[in-house]
Amino acid sequence: MPNGSLDSHLFKDKTLLTWKVRYNIALGLVSALLYLHEEWEQCVVHRDIKSSNVMLDSSFKTKLGDFGLAKLVEHEQGAETTEVLAGTKGYMAPEYTVNGKASKESDVYSFGVVALEIACGRRPVEPSAGQGRVILVDWVWELYGKGMLREAIDPRLTSTEGFDEKQVEHLMVVGLWCAHPDYNRRPSMREVMHVLRFEAQLPVIPSKMSVPTFALPPDASVLEISSSVAGSSSKSTMF
């Protein structure tokens, strides 16, 4: 592709992408995933959505590349279990790393990470002095919870053509929505498209990142309480 990959512009000192171009790249990626997930004859689960696989043509239009890990599933079918875990660290959905089940929802998670990269100009995982590493999703979510989301915006963007702070914050909230730890709470790409085109309201997401249900102990949803009443034992189950 004439303009290479998205990550080369975000992180490798190539051409500084203006906000207008970045937002259009995000919309182009949404459109590509919407087609793969819902509009082709079968659902295509890409399994390796990341900024280095987002290719840019001569007009900086989005072309999604590298389908080497992609899986075909029927539209009504659920997650596809894979024998070998495939993908890129930092972009893989938490449930996928645990159970190896690739799905539209795991693609949506990966898109959420790329959306945050576009808005923040940061990699999914970055080293940090004294902290070991900073995970982009965690960092942005923490700022969101503190009402300090603006601090996550790539500082290089403010002087670029078409900079729109409302759009940037919109994309970051959508990124968090897509990267929700619980896959059942993630949107479809069609919902994402409506929100980014300002055709639907921005979702309200929790101020603190929740713990995904699959990460809880198997018996975490059931609490057994033993009590003795008049010398006998009884059990109650709370849900």
pLDDT value for 132: 75
Annotated catalytic sites, by residue? 48
What the chain holds in terms of domains, given with CATH numbers, is 6-238 (1.10.510.10)
pLDDT value for 197: 97
pLDDT value for 201: 96
**pLDDT digits 0-9 by tens, 81-126:** 554 567 788 999 999 988 888 899 999 999 999 999 999 999 999 8
Mean pLDDT computed over every residue of the chain = 85
Q: What is the mean pLDDT of residues 201-214?
A: 84
* pLDDT greater than 90 at residue 216: no
More reliable by pLDDT, 135 or 13? 135
In whole angstroms, give the CA distance from residue 203 to residue 74: 29
Q: How far is CA 24 from CA 59, 63, 123, 168, 220, in A?
A: 11, 12, 20, 12, 43
Check residue 5 and report its DSSP letter. Answer: B
**pLDDT digits 0-9 by tens, 67-85:** 878 887 766 665 555 545 6
pLDDT value for 161: 80
Q: How far is CA 97 from CA 73, 80, 85, 106, in A?
A: 19, 13, 7, 10
**pLDDT digits 0-9 by tens, 125-182:** 988 766 678 999 999 999 999 999 999 999 999 888 889 999 999 999 999 999 999 9
Q: Are the C-beta atoms of residues 68 and 45 closer than 8 Å to each other?
A: no
Of 49-53, 208-212, 229-233, where does the model show the most confidence?
A: 49-53
